[in-house]
Amino acid sequence: MVGWLSIRLVVFLMICATVSSTNCPNREWIKKSLKKAHIPGAVVMVINATDTLYAEAFGHQSLTPKRHMNIDRSIFSLASVSKTFVGTAVMQLVEQSLVDLDIDVNQYLSEPQKRIFHPDFPSNSITLRKLLSHSASIATSRQVTNSYYHPGDTAFAESLTDACYRIINPNTSNWLPQPPGTVIYYSNEGNSLAALVVEKVSNMSYIDYVEAKILKPLGIDINKTGVRLADFSNIEDLVKHYAYAYNESSVEVWHEKLPKFNITKISKDFPTWLQIPFYGFSIYPAGLLRMSARSLATYLQMFLNNGSSILRPQSIVEMRRPVGDGLILYYSPNSADQLANVDAGLGWYWLTKNNGRRYVGHEGSMPGVTHSMFVNEKNNLGVIVLSTGDISSETQQSKETYETVTNIYMSLFECFDTDIM
């Protein structure tokens, strides 16, 4: 869920030049790569519109007790890959003429006493297009983001409505010094506000809407999807969260970051694994959707099939189209740090390699998970990597973990996308 997008994109550019198109990754290479980066487990899939071209599970979803990762049964928290579902839900409502992408969202929220607007630019309305493309000028600090996490299901004591209005209101400092619609800045809160619009317009909770209108029509077993721990009859199917600790100071950092959590060491000797308990957060649409890699692949095939049975092809085109025709840049206080290789669509974004190849999809990271889900520019090949790697500490270890996940999915694109040369 966390941003850290600028660091990840820099690493992405570095890696793009290192992957060889002449060598397809084999299981042993991926296994060794995961082990070297201290990633306990992962599931890797390559799909086209109709078939699974590659599917492998590596390592463990639980270290104590030992449980092997499984393509069909292991349930991951999808982190920010969840945001693509918000875009899909909104476009379904657009198709039904229930919402307009360019109308002030306050019209749909129907809370006249709690209007949402930028305090310095009140005439620049907050719209669904701006929320889904991270261009609404909503910005929160890392400290605020860390405060969202609560152990178990306790975060759900606060409703999505209350959480959005608490965080995104003109009386807070959670805004950029730029008018909405002029810059891109990654926002979990903005994406969740778009999901709140889905709730209000559909008269369904957001997760109920996703399961009834997106997952079930695609043939995905909604008994094996959810957001709360209570949504799952067998909690042993849930992939556990871990972080690698070299010394006691690593433990202290985690205790400071997540003081509400009783993060424990698996072994008394260092280095060791830290087990992060299952957690949640009230703005759950931005990162807490839980499902298996197989289910996620079914969803991604919908995208490859131009909407399949749940969206019109024009809606897929709209989600893929960069906001502002790609002319709106990622915000940085230092203009020299502007990121020109990221273009935001609606719930999806584009990454451009240094050789000009482009991929649309989403990455995701939260404590104990790092994921990637991307589609090539021709929209005929998708790659999913779901892993238990942790990059939330912003250390050299985090960089190596992110590099490993990126290397894996880029090498698979190089291998299976035979028309790229």
Given this model, what pLDDT does residue 162 score? Answer: 97
Given this model, what pLDDT does residue 40 score? Answer: 98
Query: In the chain, what percentage of residues exceed pLDDT 90?
Result: 85
What does the pLDDT average to over 313-319? 98
256 assigned to some structural domain: no
* Position 23 confidence tier, pLDDT thresholds 50, 70, 90: low
What does the pLDDT average to over 44-61? 98
Domain residues for the domain of 282 are: 5-240+278-416
Axis-axis angle for helices 160-167, 188-202 (nearest 10): 140
Given this model, what pLDDT does residue 21 score? Answer: 43
Given this model, what pLDDT does residue 18 score? Answer: 40
255 assigned to some structural domain: no
262 assigned to some structural domain: no
Contact at 8 Å (CB) between 362 and 9?
Answer: no
What does the pLDDT average to over 210-226? 98
11 assigned to some structural domain: yes
Given this model, what pLDDT does residue 340 score? Answer: 58
252 assigned to some structural domain: no
The CATH number linked to 362 is 3.40.710.10
Query: Letter for the amino acid at 270?
Result: F
249 assigned to some structural domain: no
Contact at 8 Å (CB) between 193 and 204?
Answer: no
Q: What is the pLDDT of residues 231-289, one digit of tens each?
A: 999 999 999 999 999 999 999 999 999 999 999 999 999 999 999 999 999 999 999 99
Average pLDDT, the chain: 92
What does the pLDDT average to over 351-359? 83
Q: How far apart are CA 373 and CA 50, in angstroms?
A: 17
Q: Is 50 exceeded by the pLDDT of residue 421?
A: no
385 strand-pairing partners: 44, 372
**How many residues does the structure list for the chain?**
421
HSE-CB of 223 using CA atoms within 13 angstroms: 2
Q: How far apart are CA 258 and CA 88, in angstroms?
A: 32
Question: Which tops the pLDDT comparison, 21 or 346?
Answer: 346
Query: In the chain, what percentage of residues exceed pLDDT 70?
Result: 92
Q: What is the pLDDT of residues 71-130, one digit of tens each?
A: 999 999 999 999 999 999 999 999 999 999 999 999 999 888 999 999 999 999 999 999
Q: Is 80 exceeded by the pLDDT of residue 180?
A: yes
Q: Is 70 exceeded by the pLDDT of residue 338?
A: no
272 assigned to some structural domain: no
pTM: 0.93
| Number of domains into which the chain is organized | 1
26 assigned to some structural domain: yes
> Counting beta carbons within 10 angstroms of the beta carbon of residue 312, is it exposed (0 to 12), middle (13 to 18) or buried (19 or more)?
middle
Given this model, what pLDDT does residue 298 score? Answer: 98
Q: Is 80 exceeded by the pLDDT of residue 6?
A: no
Contact at 8 Å (CB) between 132 and 90?
Answer: yes
What does the pLDDT average to over 347-351? 96
Given this model, what pLDDT does residue 354 score? Answer: 67
Q: Lowest-pLDDT range, 43-47, 122-126, 254-258, 290-294?
A: 254-258
Q: Lowest-pLDDT range, 152-156, 298-302, 356-360?
A: 356-360
Q: Lowest-pLDDT range, 3-12, 253-262, 317-326?
A: 3-12
What does the pLDDT average to over 342-356? 88
